[in-house]
DNA sequence: CTTCAACCACGACAACTGTAGTACTATGGG
DNA sequence: CCCATAGTACTACAGTTGTCGTGGTTGAAG
């Protein structure tokens, strides 16, 4: 198996775009090659099987979705109150809007995880760690809201972004700023 | 195009199972025939194209996901307070658990809607009407909580069920009863 | 310069897919 | 009884797919 990391990542990024644009159904070796602008057959030199490819895509998407260290550090310089939580929620939406392909690819992968135990295990680990981190972070940073508040924010934002990316006109029935404002206010309790 | 409604619905139900079990990728005429236990080629006698098939599946899924009139009437005999809202939320989870295939199929369709304007229009109409109905219903039935409360419940439950069906072990980090209890209490404000 | 492993381009192949066509069957109205 | 119509079974076909093999190129170590 070929291990040219630069080219491998370029192929994985192409795979993410293909997943977002064509869905799991369109995710073929040839589609990836075409998207990445490399000769047909290249992707199959890098990924042993379609299954293998998807596991690697999951890792790549996780990398791309993680917020940057800097942006977290930057936010932590601000006062630790409700308005900071509001800012974090806005950041999540901004990130989703800025990299729709990654979010949509992740949604495709989550559906795939339903039938591929290996992928499910990997994604479960990632998402559980993420939620745990958020709960701990909220407590340690002395941000307002208990554990349940973080969970309500988590599921509320998950649902909202899911709707915003798949059925934007339904999400648009709710004003973004007002939604986040009310969500945070009431979740914190 | 053949119009034997019983057989057509059987094929659509088979298609929903296939979507849930194999994903959009596995949704082929032959897979539907096999699932429905009819001779190969049957599904293609009923659906002009794969596109056409998916539109019809969307309609069928919507039918299957709608709560029964009786169960609504039954609930409305109960006192119109917070505990009734809690009951409604539990009903949603029960319905999702009881018909996972329909929910998973709908998730596949929502992702498809991302790239098929016709499907997106149809689903947008359905989901917008559903949300509007819930908001109006909450007000008319003199249930506690304003418009925003209903929206918070909507997105909170959407996110929770999405997680529960795709990554159950992550959702299981949160106790179901406690989640609904706190969600309703804080959403109502 | 030679060698050798990693990388790359390309093609082959069997399996599967969407779609459309054709002919058989059932049935109920005249 | 006849036959028109809807439903059904089956098949053909061209295009696409996952996967694997083969041979060529590169670039650095010896």
| B21–A contact, CB cutoff 8 A | yes
Which nucleotide has its C1' atom closest to residue A7's CA? C7
| A158–B contact, CB cutoff 8 A | yes
| B112–A contact, CB cutoff 8 A | yes
A160–B159 CB contact, under 8 Å: yes
Give yes or no for a contact between A20 and A105, defined as CB atoms under 8 angstroms apart. yes
Q: Measure CB to CB from residue B186 to each of A113, A124, A189 and give the nearest one.
A: A189
Give yes or no for a contact between B120 and A167, defined as CB atoms under 8 angstroms apart. yes
- Chain A positions in Cβ-Cβ contact with residue B165 (cut-off 8 Å): 114
Residue A81 Cα to chain centre, angstroms? 26
Give yes or no for a contact between A183 and A88, defined as CB atoms under 8 angstroms apart. no
Phi-psi region of A41 (alpha: psi -120 to 50; beta: other; left: phi over 0): left
**Closest residue to C17 (CA, C1′):** B28
**pLDDT per residue as tens, chain A (189 positions):** 899 999 999 999 999 999 999 999 999 999 999 999 999 999 999 999 999 999 999 999 999 999 999 999 999 999 999 999 999 999 999 999 999 999 999 999 999 999 999 999 999 999 999 999 999 999 999 999 999 999 999 999 999 999 999 999 999 999 999 999 999 999 998
| B120–A contact, CB cutoff 8 A | yes
Q: Does residue A1 approach strand D to less than 7 Å at its CB? A: no
* Residue A1, pLDDT score: 84
């Amino acid at each position: 198996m070929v291990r040219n990391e630069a080219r491998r990542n370029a192929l994985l990024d192409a795979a993410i775009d293909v997943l977002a644009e064509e869905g799991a159904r369109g995710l073929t070796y040839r589609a990836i090659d075409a998207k990445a602008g490399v000769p047909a057959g290249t992707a199959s030199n890098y990924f042993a099987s379609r299954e293998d490819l998807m596991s690697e895509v999951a890792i790549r998407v996780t990398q791309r979705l993680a917020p940057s260290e800097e942006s977290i550090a930057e936010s932590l310089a601000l006062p630790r109150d409700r308005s900071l939580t509001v800012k974090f929620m806005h950041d999540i939406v901004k990130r989703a809007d800025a990299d729709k392909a990654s979010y949509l690819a992740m949604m495709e992968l989550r559906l795939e995880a339903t039938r591929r135990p290996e992928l499910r295990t990997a994604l479960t680990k990632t998402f559980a760690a993420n939620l745990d981190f958020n709960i701990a972070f909220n407590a340690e940073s002395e941000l307002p809201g208990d554990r349940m508040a973080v969970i309500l924010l988590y599921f509320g934002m998950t649902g909202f972004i899911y709707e915003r990316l798949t059925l934007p006109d339904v999400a648009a029935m709710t004003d973004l700023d007002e939604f986040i404002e009310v969500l945070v206010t009431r979740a914190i309790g």
